[in-house]
Amino acid sequence: MPMQDGSYDRLRAAGCADEVAYVQACLRLFFAPAAEAISSAAPAPAISAENIADIARLNKVAVFLLKALARAPAGTAPPELLAWLDGYRRRTISMNAACLGDSMAIHRVLRDRQVDFVFLKGPFQQHLLYGDHFMKPSGDVDILVSPTGFTAAREALRSIGYEVAGKSRSVWWVRFLGEQHMVRDDGARASTVDLHHRLQQPGSPSPRDIDGFLRRKREVQVTGAAMPIISAADTLLLAAISVAKAFFNREPCAGYVCDVRASASRLNEAEQQKVLDHAAEQGLADTLLLGLRAADVLLGGAGSLLSDRATRILTRIDNADLFHMVVAPWLSSLRWPQRRHVLWELCGREPVRYLAEAGWAASADLSRRLFERPAAIGPVRDDVIKITGGAAPHAIER
């Protein structure tokens, strides 16, 4: 669902061109430490610390800015911005520490029940990508299981006090979103568990082999326990999937784009080719390229095999628009492509797959209308993809 935030209207009204450029300059400084990288941003007195804070918060990159500004010349940031960023970092540490503790308990019960699972995203991934468990706030523990292990995992979590949240009990959540949220209502400060057996929402291409994410998992030692984490290649794919999901929902996603860059930058050329082949096997080659192109327009071209391939995706969107779609999708000036055209490209312009994904999206929308309570989901969006007949890519319309 698209993010609803009161900050959108204020940011849209303010324009915030200087603040958006400032956030980009900080992110480029984070990934390519060089003091001159910040010079493309407006001088500190000319920018709004409040607007920068909102942009960083919505994109989940506030800690990236804090670390980048620690390298920048004195006076680069307004003092009130630095104070806010420091407070955000402290809150992130508190939230993620709780998430880590809950993850350990969840690991124990699923291991004891012999449920095959893997952790997605969260503090473990942040440590692998950035050497820091506290880069982005994680209030949820995301877990992937196979479809056949979904019920067993849910019962295991119930044994330690988690119950399915009311909003995620419907057919639409379980069947089409492929997940349920589980919460504890015992007064304890517990993270929500997002229990997944799918990795993409209807309307975007889904991986062909979910169980493969479990087979390829790696183990990371955390306080003496071997925690199952998705592989390096799958970490990159998952970040690209998250970018595509945000793009379809018109949500800010610079944090996911940073994950794409951090994952891709660890690969040599041979490994990059393997990731391209792996993405093609999963039916996610063009989803991967969208994430990579977004990383290049936000953070600068990496001059790699992956970057060279990424230039061919969504060429009708120029770099300036794609940049703002990633960081500031609330801007009224943006010329968004129709979702059917994006889906057509992410399906590799393959009519059979395109129609299958469009049909799945239409079925999901019908299920949502039939089974979701209006109070729980709000008004039906008028831009959900629907089957209308005709030849691809005009077989579905907004």
The reply to whether 193 falls in a domain is yes
Q: Do the domain assignments include residue 117?
A: yes
Query: Does residue 313 form part of some domain?
Result: no
Rounded Cα distance, 329 and 281, in Å:
31
What pLDDT shows up at residue 171? 81
Chain Cα centroid distance, residue 274: 22
Residue 306 · residue 272 · CB < 8 Å? yes
Residue 88 CA to its chain's centroid (Å): 20
Domain stops at, among 230, 264, 286? 230
Q: Which of 230, 264, 299 is the last residue of a domain?
A: 230
pTM listed for this prediction = 0.88
Task: Look at residue 393 and tell me if it is in a domain.
Answer: yes
Q: Among 180, 203, 230, identify where a domain stops.
A: 230
Asked if residues 16 and 51 have their Cβ atoms less than 8 Å apart, the reply is yes
Total number of domains in the chain: 2
Within-domain flag for 23: no
pLDDT by residue for the chain (398 residues), tens only, comes to: 344 457 888 888 888 899 999 999 999 999 987 645 555 444 555 789 999 999 999 999 999 999 999 988 877 888 999 999 999 999 999 999 999 999 999 999 999 999 999 999 999 999 999 999 999 999 999 999 999 999 999 999 999 999 999 888 888 788 888 999 999 976 566 789 999 999 988 788 989 999 999 999 999 988 788 999 999 999 999 999 999 999 999 999 999 999 999 999 999 999 999 999 999 999 999 999 999 999 999 999 877 899 999 999 999 999 999 999 999 999 999 999 998 999 999 999 999 999 998 888 888 787 777 766 544 333 333 333 332 333 343 333 33
Please give the biggest Cα pair distance in the chain.
60
- Residue 171 belongs to what domain range? 96-230
What 3-state DSSP class applies to 54?
Answer: helix
Res 126: pLDDT: 96
Would you say residue 384 lies in a domain? yes
Domain annotation covers residue 26: no
Judgement on whether residues 100 and 226 belong to the same structural domain of the protein: yes
Residues 345 and 224 grouped into a single domain: no
> CATH code at 164?
3.30.460.40
Q: Residue 71 falls within a domain, yes or no?
A: no
